[in-house]
């Protein structure tokens, strides 16, 4: 995983509390497409704190959560301890440690843009059964749909340390064509929302690896700007972040 191993180590608590989950409609969609059953074995690559794994665990699937960051992996093991069908794995997208052709679906939630795509494609083809499917998921934050979201995006552009470089929006159709094979993938979008009071909005911001951490010279100016943004746009002490949950899926050739 490219330069990502320790990016979130100091942000795990906020990540667990304030990152958006994925809509349950995603499970129904994958079932309707004959991709997923309750017996499908899942490899969740870059599983982080377990947000994407939980969706499939609740469907009864055995899920191997492959995560190289110790702090995030331990958080997943704690939060998903109630699921006996969760298997935590210390591995990477490029070296999962899983056995050949042992999984039916590879899922990656909010992580694909961190991978070495040439190496992970080789690994994915090794661990995926020949009829298996790769499912890539992002909660894609809308940046222009409301005045608040325009302001929030401007704040990230102003204070983000390497926001432009690591933004998952850098992954485009050319990347997917190279990975899946030309035109060998499909996509589906779902609406998703989060409602925040100020404290949770601050936690959501600080869960991002590309914003200044406490002690950085831009940390307090960023927090001051966030407070002003919240005060200006809050309604009943709440603001809303809107997402499009986008799913790309296909078989590897």
Domain boundaries, the chain: 9-141+166-193+244-250
pLDDT in tens, 65-87: 999 999 999 999 999 999 999 99
How would you class 186 by CB atoms within 10 Å of its CB: exposed for 0-12, middle for 13-18, buried for 19 or more? exposed
Q: What percent of the chain has pLDDT over 70?
A: 93
Q: Is 24 helix (H, G, I), strand (E, B) or coil?
A: coil
**Average pLDDT of the segment spanning 41-51:** 96
Please tell me the predicted confidence (pLDDT) of residue 156.
94
Tokens of 8: 């979130």
Q: What is the pTM of this model?
A: 0.90
Under the banding of pLDDT at 50, 70 and 90, the label for residue 242 is very high
Which CATH number is 9-141+166-193+244-250 given? 3.40.50.150
Return d(Cα 97, Cα 202) in angstroms, integer.
37
| pLDDT computed for residue 5 by the predictor | 53
Give the pLDDT confidence of 182-229 residue by residue, as tens digits. 999 999 999 999 999 999 999 999 998 889 888 899 999 999 999 999
Helix axes 173-180 and 117-127, enclosed angle (nearest 10): 40
Are the C-beta atoms of 187 and 247 separated by less than 8 Å? yes
Task: Report how far apart, in Å, the C-alpha atoms of 24 and of each of 92, 119, 190, 220, 245 are.
Answer: 26, 31, 10, 37, 11
Beta strand extents in 25-160 (DSSP E only): 41-45, 62-66, 86-89, 103-109, 128-141
Rounded CA-CA distance 92/83 in Å is: 22
**Residue 166 has which token pair?**
């690591």
pLDDT(141) > 90: yes
Q: Does 1 have pLDDT greater than 50?
A: no
Other Cβ atoms less than 10 A from the Cβ of 244: the count is 14
Q: What is the pLDDT of residue 170?
A: 63
235 sits in the region (left: phi over 0; alpha: psi -120 to 50; else beta) called beta
Q: Can you give the pLDDT at residue 9?
A: 52
Q: What is the pLDDT of residue 213?
A: 87
Phi, psi at 196, each rounded to 5°: -130, 140
Please give the pLDDT value at position 184: 95
Cβ proximity of 126 and 149 under 8 Å: no
């Amino acid at each position: 995983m490219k330069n990502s191993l320790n990016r979130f180590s100091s942000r795990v608590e906020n990540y667990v509390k304030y990152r958006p989950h994925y809509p349950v409609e995603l499970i129904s969609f994958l079932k309707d497409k004959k991709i997923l059953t309750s017996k499908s074995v899942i490899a969740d690559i870059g599983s982080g704190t377990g947000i994407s794994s939980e969706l499939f665990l609740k469907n009864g699937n055995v899920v191997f959560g492959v995560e190289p960051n110790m702090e995030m992996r331990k958080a997943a093991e704690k939060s998903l301890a109630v699921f006996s069908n969760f298997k935590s794995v210390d591995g990477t997208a490029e070296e999962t440690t899983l056995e050949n052709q042992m999984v039916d679906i590879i899922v990656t939630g909010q992580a694909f843009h961190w991978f070495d795509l040439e190496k992970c494609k080789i690994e994915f083809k090794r661990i995926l059964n020949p009829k298996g499917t790769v499912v890539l998921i992002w909660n894609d934050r809308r940046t222009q749909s409301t005045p608040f979201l325009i302001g929030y995006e401007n704040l990230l552009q102003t204070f983000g340390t390497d926001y432009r470089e690591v933004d998952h929006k850098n992954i485009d159709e050319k990347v997917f064509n190279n990975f899946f094979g030309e035109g060998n993938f499909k996509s589906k979008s779902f609406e998703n929302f989060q409602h925040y009071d100020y404290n949770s909005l601050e936690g959501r911001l600080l869960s991002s690896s590309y914003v200044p951490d406490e002690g950085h010279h831009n940390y307090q100016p960023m927090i001051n700007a966030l407070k002003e943004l919240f005060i200006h746009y809050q309604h009943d002490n709440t603001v809303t972040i809107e997402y499009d949950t986008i799913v790309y899926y296909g078989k590897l050739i």
